[in-house]
């Protein structure tokens, strides 16, 4: 049997049935209460039926005033826990482990949402042509940092109550914890900035606090950039050190990805000119990190062919994370298990402006999620321009509804 379909035992004793994970994607499919909607639950049941051993949800926000995008799921209290239970049940309906990804956007907060962005420092996003789409951040006060850590802890406790089997703390892709890790966005001079140890403090404190509140059998994972791919930013050497800092903290798995809104390496594009593989973008970087790690590592980024997935597992990496490929073909794990060589074609947008091209690819992916959530077949050949325009119009409507919701919730 292929290594892809061998079980993986995690440090806490939990077993994942196979080595394929449905990695996180932002769905923007919450209901009017910003809880899991019927469409979101149907989408995850589809992925569960597809055969992945691990299903990681898209962003679940720890603060209703800080969403990565409109129509995002928020988990602050137990008011809508019944809907989260149904979501967890759908994820686990075919025997998969179900982990909730918990996150905060930091400065990657869309201005249209009408909220104040907070970040390690008052450093705005540098995205030519798209800068004005994001709120200008203010620096977090020290007391606010402690309160934020407690928000992650509360979300993890609620995820456990809802029936999820773990959480993944998002510290990649330029979101809040990733901003703390990068010297480009973290220019603090207190205990939360400066040295890498200080910049990693918020992540380490959060992992420690979450692990102390959940059962040993409840998995605690971290998503970390192998690098930011921006000159002077968080690099692979830093990632090696942070993984070392996580040793002995009860972390069950580290997922390695890369990039941010400014340098969308997770879509194969970088700002610093780094060369990425055509598939498994971050495998080379992950192998360097894996040499220093004792907990299992997972690699995500551009994997869409069985032979590539098997190559990922031929070294020191324990799991393959797949996102876009499973948005297009959710049953891909089962197809591979049955011996098929079914592959998924890459999504490419050859526009000169990398930021707009990245946004167009995201729009096409989200279109696939909406189709799957509606019980319809996917359409990866959609026009990038029409997908992007449709996504922007939809986001505008959703943002308007969000502003009304947040005003009534305050």
pLDDT of the chain along its 410 residues, tens only? 589 999 999 999 999 999 999 999 999 999 999 999 999 999 999 999 999 999 999 999 999 999 999 999 999 999 999 999 999 999 999 999 999 999 999 999 999 999 999 999 999 988 777 778 899 999 999 999 999 999 999 999 999 999 999 999 999 999 999 999 999 999 999 999 999 999 999 999 999 999 999 999 999 999 999 877 788 889 899 999 999 999 999 999 999 987 777 766 565 555 445 544 556 677 888 888 888 899 999 999 888 989 989 999 998 999 999 999 999 999 999 999 998 778 898 888 988 887 788 889 999 999 999 999 999 999 999 999 999 999 999 999 999 999 999 998 76
The reported pLDDT for the residue numbered 272 is 43
d(CA 32, CA 216): 34
How confident is the model over 198-234, as pLDDT tens digits?
999 999 999 999 999 999 999 999 999 987 778 888 9
pLDDT for the residue numbered 64: 97
288 burial class (0-12, 13-18, 19+ CB within 10 angstroms)? Answer: middle
Name, in order, each residue with C-beta under 8 angstroms of 328's C-beta and a sequence gap of 6 or more.
344, 347, 368, 378, 380
pLDDT at 265: 52
Collect all residues with Cβ–Cβ distance below 8 Å to 338 and sequence separation of at least 6: none
Tokens 């482990």, located at residue:
97
CA distances (Å), origin 5, targets 109, 130, 299, 317, 332: 38, 42, 16, 14, 13
**Beta-carbon neighbour count of residue 247 at 10 Å?**
11
Beta bridge partners of 297: 254
Cα 275 to Cα 266: distance, rounded to the nearest angstrom: 13
**Whole-number Å distance between alpha carbons of 323 and 23:** 5
Give the Cα separation of 44 and 53 in Å (integer): 13
Q: What is the pLDDT of residue 275?
A: 44
Instruction: Specify the CATH class of 3-347 in words.
Output: alpha beta
The predicted pLDDT at position 258 comes to 79
Is this prediction's pTM over 0.85? yes
């Amino acid at each position: 049997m292929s290594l892809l379909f061998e079980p993986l035992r995690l440090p806490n004793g939990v077993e994942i049935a196979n080595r394929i994970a449905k990695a996180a994607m932002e769905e923007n499919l919450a209901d009017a209460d910003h809880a899991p909607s019927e469409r979101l639950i149907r989408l995850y049941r589809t992925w569960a039926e597809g055969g992945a051993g691990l299903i990681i949800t898209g962003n679940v926000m720890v603060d209703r005033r800080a969403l990565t995008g409109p129509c995002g799921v928020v988990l602050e209290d137990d008011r809508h826990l019944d809907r989260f239970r149904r979501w967890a049940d759908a994820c686990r309906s075919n025997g998969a482990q179900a982990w909730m990804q918990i996150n905060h956007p930091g400065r990657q907060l869309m201005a249209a949402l009408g909220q104040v962005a907070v970040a390690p420092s008052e450093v705005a996003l540098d995205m030519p042509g798209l800068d004005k789409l994001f709120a200008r951040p203010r620096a977090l006060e020290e007391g606010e940092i402690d309160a934020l850590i407690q928000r992650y802890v509360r979300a993890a406790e609620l995820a456990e109550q809802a029936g999820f089997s773990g959480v993944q703390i998002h510290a990649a892709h330029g979101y809040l914890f990733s901003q703390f890790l990068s010297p480009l966005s973290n220019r603090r001079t207190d205990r939360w900035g400066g040295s890498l140890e200080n910049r990693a403090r918020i992540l380490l404190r959060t992992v420690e606090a979450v692990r102390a509140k959940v059962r040993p059998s409840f998995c605690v994972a971290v998503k970390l950039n192998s690098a930011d791919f921006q000159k002077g930013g968080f690099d692979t050497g830093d990632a090696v050190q942070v993984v070392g800092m996580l040793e002995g903290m009860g972390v069950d798995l580290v997922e390695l990805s890369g990039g941010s809104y400014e340098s969308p390496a997770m879509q194969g594009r970088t700002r610093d000119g780094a060369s990425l593989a055509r598939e498994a973008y971050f495998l080379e970087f992950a192998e360097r990190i894996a040499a220093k790690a004792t907990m299992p590592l997972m690699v995500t980024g551009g994997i869409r062919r069985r032979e590539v997935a098997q190559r990922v597992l031929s070294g020191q990496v324990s799991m393959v994370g797949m996102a876009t490929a499973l948005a297009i073909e959710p049953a891909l794990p089962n197809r591979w298990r049955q011996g098929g060589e079914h592959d998924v074609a890459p999504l490419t947008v050859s526009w000169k402006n990398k930021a707009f091209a990245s946004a167009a690819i995201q729009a096409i992916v989200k279109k696939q999620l909406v189709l799957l959530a509606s019980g319809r077949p996917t359409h990866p050949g959609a026009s990038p321009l029409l997908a992007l325009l449709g996504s922007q119009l939809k986001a505008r409507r959703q943002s308007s509804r969000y502003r009304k919701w947040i005003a009534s919730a305050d």
